[in-house]
Structure 1
Amino acid sequence: MTITFITGANKGLGFETARRLSELGHTVLLGARDPELGRAAAATINARFVRIDVTDDASVAAAAADVEQHEGAVDVLVNNAGIHGPAGDPSSLTGADVLGVFDVNVAGVVRTTTAFLPLLRRSADPVIINVSSGMGDLEATHDRSRPEGNYVAPVYTASKAALTMLTTQYAKALPEMRINAADPGYTATEFNGHSGPQTVTEGTDAIVQLATEGPGHGSGRFVERHGEKSW
């Protein structure tokens, strides 16, 4: 049975990914910062809650130790946890604003991946999926016919561009694993005030595809629900 660990999974895209993969037979480990919310979410989809705060080294290490004790390995790691940060005019943007977003969206992925690599290396088919965004796609953000080209979110977009590049570097360095980035697309979630035109199920299509496609597929890709994309 495939063992899948998902960060930031008590709501939104993370929860829907957890729900869908649980229905497909994965043993889902639902990672979240808040124990009350995490346990409640896990209970509704037959998942196991594991507390993790991706900005805290000790919390990430404790989560990995918990999984080692209970499951002993991980087949799929979904780095989903993310925050938005300031939007609009960047005139008053501060270094602390930037560091806060990058601490979750980029450094949090590094912390979690590093801690879980020993568990992934015990899998016959290890997979890492980094939930990125078309908001970090240069082509999309220059296209005024797309939502990405009409919205200003300097720190979030920069963090997602960094995450996609980070994904390609990990894929080169760790060829024994499939490491890919997913672009959910503009999806109606709490993250954007439920303003996106896609359903949360549509928004998780690329993540679920990458989690279930099996051996023989490529690494270092940027994938949306309609297929691979360049950026």
Structure 2
Amino acid sequence: MHQAADAFLRQLIWRDFAYHQLIHFPEILHSPLRSQFQAFPWVGTSAQLEKWKEGRTGYPLVDAGMRQLRETGFIHNRVRMVVASFLVKHLLIPWTAGSDWFRETLVDFDEANNAMGWQWVTGSGIDAAPYFRIFNPIMQSEKFDPNGFFIRRWVPELGELPAKYTHRPWAAPADVLEEAGIRIGEDYPFPMIDHALARNRALAAYDTAKGKA
């Protein structure tokens, strides 16, 4: 009971911290609080942004979360962090694009929390996540949805896959895919970008923004 109460209090404090930031730094809604991020080398495209919005990235956890958001106006906090990290760090699309989409779709939208959350994931805000913290959507999926229940609910085309392949369907053997009635690239997309490649590209971009490159 005490543990649950402590967790609730932490969320209230985090919310108030967001309001504090908005009052003292109203620019947090549209501009990075850390000046070096003004020159961040964003290279993502509008087509990639649309695939992210629609849940067609090829990463099942990301797609499940984004589809849940479109249909219900809600997305779990863990998944919010994963999809946000994917947009900013895998695709190198400005965090403001994600912030705007959350504003348009979330039924529990809160201006201060939203802005602080996106700046936290990007690494451009107060007490932000380390820039090298790049969520691996496969590992996050395996850890928090090991049986693939969440994925099957929101990405039904993967519903017949064995649990071990719901997190990375492109790695399933041909006979497994055939039995599940899935053609990767047709029924479900290949990953938009390889995770390792995306991580290295993001770290290079952050080094550029910080003047290390």
TM range (shorter): under 0.3
Judging by fraction of residues, say which structure has more helix. 2
* TM-score with structure 1 setting the length: 0.22
* TM-score with structure 2 setting the length: 0.23
Return the index of the structure with the highest Cα Rg.
Answer: 2
Asked which structure has the greater RCO (Cα within 8 Å, sep 6+), the reply is: 2
Judging by fraction of residues, say which structure has more strand. 1
